[in-house]
A and B are shown apart, each in its own frame.
Chain A
Amino acid sequence: LAKTTQPISMDSYEGQEVNITCSHNNIATNDYITWYQQFPSQGPRFIIQGYKTKVTNEVASLFIPADRKSSTLSLPRVSLSDTAVYYCLVVYNDMRFGAGTRLTVKP
């Protein structure tokens, strides 16, 4: 199973762009890179998924280099409500969580 490594915590301010990088050096060919967000007292919530290059949706962008050994979640113009834990997972028939990155957005 591919293991992921992310920063334990990050701080940002409202209105800034936040980039969270995840490394997954032993990612397999069939694995997809998926990010989830979790607020306190709630279950994780899907944010975005990609295989390679760039994926963008209404809440985030995901950048994946050609070697796929890392990925970067980009949150544009964060607000206080984006304070949460963000998990990077590599997924194929299996979904295992790492420690996640605790993002704190300050006013």
Chain B
Amino acid sequence: EAGVTQFPSHSVIEKGQTVTLRCDPISGHDNLYWYRRVMGKEIKFLLHFVKESKQDESGMPNNRFLAERTGGTYSTLKVQPAELEDSGVYFCASTRRGLGLDTEAFFGQGTRLTVV
């Protein structure tokens, strides 16, 4: 079974540019989560999809961030325009059902975004 995959693994862009991160969850996993870690800080929750619907987007930092999950399969996270403080590692995770008993979240390797 393929794990959660994220593309690209690294991205370096200039301030003001646009970047789109992609996450392919494990097949059949309805729940998809985005997190990010900025340098020296904790891993922070961004948002949670259930299929194609945004269940919780309370962690999205501002309207420069747009997440989509068309068709309930892969998800994209677009940052437009990127700012220096957006630099960090963006993680995606998926679960078959909602978090609770016997629910393991599978994480991707992350996308390291550097805004210069």
Chain A residues within 8 Å of B, Cβ to Cβ: 30, 32, 36, 41-46, 49, 51, 87, 91-100
Return the contact of B42 from the options A30, A51, A97 (Cβ within 8 A): A97
Given A98-B42, A99-B42, A41 and B99 contact (CB-CB distance below 8 Å): no
- Is B100 a contact of A93 with CB atoms below 8 Å? yes
Of the listed stretches B14-22, B75-83, B101-109, chain A binds B101-109
Return the contact of A43 from the options B56, B101, B102, B110 (Cβ within 8 A): B110
Q: How large is the interface on B (under 10, 10 to 19, 20 to 34, 35 or more residues)?
A: 20 to 34
26 contacts between A and B (CB under 8 A): A32-B99, A32-B100, A32-B101, A36-B105, A41-B109, A41-B110, A42-B107, A42-B109, A43-B4, A43-B93, A43-B108, A43-B109, A44-B43, A44-B91, A44-B107, A45-B107, A46-B105, A46-B106, A49-B101, A91-B99, A91-B100, A91-B103, A92-B100, A94-B48, A95-B99, A96-B45
